[in-house]
């Protein structure tokens, strides 16, 4: 049985651990980009894994973050069948094949993508009324999660084209005279003293804490 109380504790602990890790000095400086990409990718993997287990538990049952039981939609489904059902809800599989299983992880969606989270919350709301709270939280934290995903993707697939895509969000952050677009994580947020990295991690953590 999936216990989301433990999953919640784990992701909060992971986000707390990666925060000071990113603040470490880069020696030598040329290692900064690869080190940053590694930290961002590790955070994104933890984030994705949490939401994967979150949605599977809403299909096959489990324990919610408030210690109440999650009433299963399909209690006899295996995880791969649950994922296939979730793909149906995302419009990526035909409903006539309900009960089938995915063939591998390559078929799974990007669980941490806020659009995926929002879509599944809407689709499963009729089964789980507490998802209304999640939809409320998405309305508050959506932009921050999207920014983290976009920055992470730019660093993982590092080239001039992907870095230039960050121009779409740079207006929300303040760069000093020596900072370039690639330094966005160290830029300050508008109207605050937090860095972009601190701000995004705090908001991702805030979404999970308030579930």
SS3 105: helix
CA distance 73 to 122: 15
Q: How many CB atoms lie within 10 A of CB 173?
A: 22
Structural tokens at position 126: 């009729």
Radius of gyration for the alpha carbons in the chain, expressed in angstroms and rounded: 19
Domain locations in the chain as residue ranges: 2-164+196-209
| Greatest Cα-to-Cα distance within the chain, rounded to the nearest angstrom | 59
Checking if the pLDDT of 26 tops 70, the result is: no
Residues 141-150: pLDDT tens digits? 999 999 999 9
pLDDT digits (tens, 9 = 90+) for 99-131: 999 999 999 999 999 999 999 999 999 999 999
What digits encode the pLDDT tens for the residues 8-21?
A: 999 999 999 987 77
Sequence-ordered strand ranges (E) for 55-205 = 62-63, 69-70, 173-174, 188-189
Quote the strand ranges of the chain, DSSP E: 2-3, 62-63, 69-70, 173-174, 188-189
């Amino acid at each position: 049985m999936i216990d989301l109380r433990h999953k919640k504790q784990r992701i909060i602990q992971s986000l707390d651990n990666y925060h000071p890790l990113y603040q470490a000095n880069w020696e030598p400086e040329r290692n900064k980009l690869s080190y940053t990409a590694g930290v961002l990718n590790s955070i994104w993997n933890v984030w994705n894994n949490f939401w994967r287990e979150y949605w599977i538990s809403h299909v096959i049952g489990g324990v919610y973050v408030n210690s109440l039981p999650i009433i299963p939609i399909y209690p006899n489904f295996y995880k791969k069948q649950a994922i296939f059902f979730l793909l149906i809800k995302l419009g990526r599989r035909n409903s006539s094949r309900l009960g089938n299983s995915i063939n591998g992880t390559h078929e799974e969606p990007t669980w941490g993508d806020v659009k995926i989270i929002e879509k599944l919350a809407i689709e499963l709301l009729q089964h789980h009324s507490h998802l209304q709270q999640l939809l409320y939280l998405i309305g508050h934290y959506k932009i921050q999660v999207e920014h983290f995903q976009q920055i992470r993707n730019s660093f993982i697939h590092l080239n001039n084209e992907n870095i230039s895509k960050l121009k779409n969000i740079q207006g929300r952050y303040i760069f000093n005279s020596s900072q370039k677009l690639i330094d966005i994580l160290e830029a300050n947020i508008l109207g605050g003293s937090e860095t972009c990295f601190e701000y995004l991690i705090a908001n991702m953590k805030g979404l999970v804490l308030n579930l």
